[in-house]
Amino acid sequence: MKKDTYLIIDKSEDNADLYYRTGFFVPDPVIYVEHNGKKTLVLSDLEIDRGRKEATVDRVLSLTDLHKRLAADKVKRIKLLDIAELVLRDMKIKKVTVPGLFAIKYADGLRKKGYKVIPRDEELFFEDRLKKTPREIGMIRDSMRETVKAMDYAIKIIAASEIRKKRLYYKGAPLTSERVKGEINAMLSGRGFTASHTIVACGVHSSMPHHSGEGPIYADKPVVIDIFPRSQSSGYFGDMTRTVVRGKPSPVLVKMYDTVLRGQKLAIGMIRAGVKVKD
């Protein structure tokens, strides 16, 4: 059975499918072609030496060399699209399958040049990402382990704070959402993780989905803490959310807690191999 030819033009730092296929972190857009089971990656001079050592691909092409070929053919204002088209032409490819989020400028450009571009709408471009290897499971577990440590640290700061006129103080200074977020992010950074958009939202802010939180943290009010750091080495995320109160929670909050706890126990009791999520 003939395999699809895959084309991705993106940054592997943002595109999990691209990183999954290449094992190579890069902050700038690169060209990836997978044809007949062989993987090709086009890299700039800045990244090519590292790519040849680290990328799990069959060959790495020089962006500069391809650029020179186009310049010799009198192509003006050479763009990444022109480079991608040259690679496809060299490989005698006329039809490619691309991710659903593939940039329209590249798709339209290739179509204008006579290529058939087929978008795949599924969220996962490479379905084999759904099944994790023991190594991948271990990396996910490591990410979650560090996330738990960061959560424990944040909760300890709140628990150790003093209550003064309904506001929390930690080590003599007002405890704010910004301060707790800074402590969480700094801790994770020191352990090789990048924490973006960490949430520490108190009071009314805690009722607003994904409000990052700002200002003082108050006693007797719910504080939603949501931490989802990414490992700088594996690329896998941890994700953990907890709601805490320093002081006395309201009856409404206690009822919500009890309801969630019952739901959690019910769900955990239903989990077993082969069970469908929809059931």
For residue range 38-57, list pLDDT tens digits in order: 999 999 999 999 999 999 99
Provide the pLDDT for residue 1: 53
- Give residue limits of the domains in the chain: 6-129, 132-249
For residue range 190-218, list pLDDT tens digits in order: 999 999 999 999 999 999 999 999 999 99
Crossing angle of helices 134-159/177-190, nearest 10°?
140
Superfamily of domain 6-129: Creatinase/prolidase N-terminal domain (3.40.350.10)
CATH architecture type of domain 132-249: Alpha-Beta Complex (3.90)
Provide the pLDDT for residue 125: 83
Whole-model pTM: value is 0.88
3-state SS assignment for residue 256? helix
C-beta of residue 5 within 8 angstroms of C-beta of residue 95 = yes
**Which residue type, as a one-letter code, is found at position 79?**
K
Two structure tokens written together for 241: 């959310």
What is d(CA 4, CA 37) in angstroms, rounded to the nearest whole number? 9
What is d(CA 238, CA 142) in angstroms, rounded to the nearest whole number? 8
Low-confidence ranges of the chain (pLDDT < 70): 1-2
Residue for token digits 């989905």? 209
